[in-house]
Amino acid sequence: MEKKTARNFFIWGTVICTAIFIWLTIDTHKTIPERTNTDKLTDEVVAGKRVWHKYNCNGCHTILGIGVYYSPDVTKVYSKRGDIWLKEYLKNPESPDPKRRKMPNQNLSADEITKAIAFLQWVSEIDTNDWPPTPITVAKVTGAPLEETAMILKGKTVYTQNRCDLCHRIGGQGGVIGPDLSKVGTAKVPQWLSQIIKNPISVNPNTQMPAYPHLADDEVQALVSFLSGLK
């Protein structure tokens, strides 16, 4: 390429990309009122947001990607749980189950609960292009009893360390020699899963799936917890 051509290429490339960037930015901003239902942004919703901050709900939860992942993402909790469930839950969120992560009871007044719910409802109606995505296993992990969460996460690690992904896909990632495991938890019971991992030949004498005799029992069990959660 000659020097002049290269310069033209650079200048026009920059001009066109900048124009596209500006156009997309303007387009995004134009759609915000519609996507966020600005017309439904009532005083009650605004008061609900204040409640959200007063009690530092963000310190444990995430909304629209902002906050902490200690506890469930509540961007869509209103559409998932509804008004009545939320009202009851927020009155007394402490679970008696010692294995669950605790949501403390911060003694919100009835008025604060109503406002917080109005805010959560408004948030859940924002068109977020399906955010938050439901990550594999996390749907099961968040809010699950701690012991179970630990097992699932350990199983995921065993899966990665043993390179099961060389042959299997989960959520579109991995090889194609073995079956897609994204929904294996729906189709197979835990006992069958542990058998195929420990001794694939006993399930199918001609299988291409290698045996994993070096896996310890608790590693197999963790793998099974992880796979059972894929639904």
The contact set with ligand HEC (CB under 6 A) reads 55-57, 59-61, 70-72, 74, 77, 81, 86, 89, 93, 95, 100-104, 106, 108, 116, 143, 159, 162, 164, 166-168, 177-179, 181, 184, 187, 193, 196-197, 204, 207-210, 212, 223, 227
Q: Provide the minimum distance between the beta carbon of 65 and ligand HEC in the complex, in angstroms, as a whole number.
A: 17
Q: Which is nearer to ligand HEC, 36 or 60 (CB)?
A: 60
Q: Which is nearer to ligand HEC, 14 or 105 (CB)?
A: 105
For residue 212, what are its two tokens?
């994993």
Q: Provide the minimum distance between the beta carbon of 218 and ligand HEC in the complex, in angstroms, as a whole number.
A: 14
Length of the chain: 231
**Chain position carrying tokens 């390429």:** 1
Phi, psi of 196 (to 5 degrees): -70, -30
For residue 188, what are its two tokens?
């197979």
Q: Provide the minimum distance between the beta carbon of 79 and ligand HEC in the complex, in angstroms, as a whole number.
A: 11
What whole-number distance in Å separates Cα of residue 95 and Cα of residue 102?
Answer: 7
Q: Which is nearer to ligand HEC, 20 or 205 (CB)?
A: 205
Please work out, in degrees rounded to the nearest 5, the angle formed at the alpha carbon of residue 180 by the alpha carbons of 174 and 186: 135
Separation in Å, CA 37 to CA 2, 52, 78, 114, 196? 53, 19, 15, 19, 51
Q: Provide the minimum distance between the beta carbon of 85 and ligand HEC in the complex, in angstroms, as a whole number.
A: 9
Q: Which is nearer to ligand HEC, 118 or 181 (CB)?
A: 181
Q: Provide the minimum distance between the beta carbon of 90 and ligand HEC in the complex, in angstroms, as a whole number.
A: 6
User: Buried (b) or exposed (e) across 185-208, using 16+ Cβ within 10 A?
Assistant: beebeeeebbbbbbebeeeeeeee
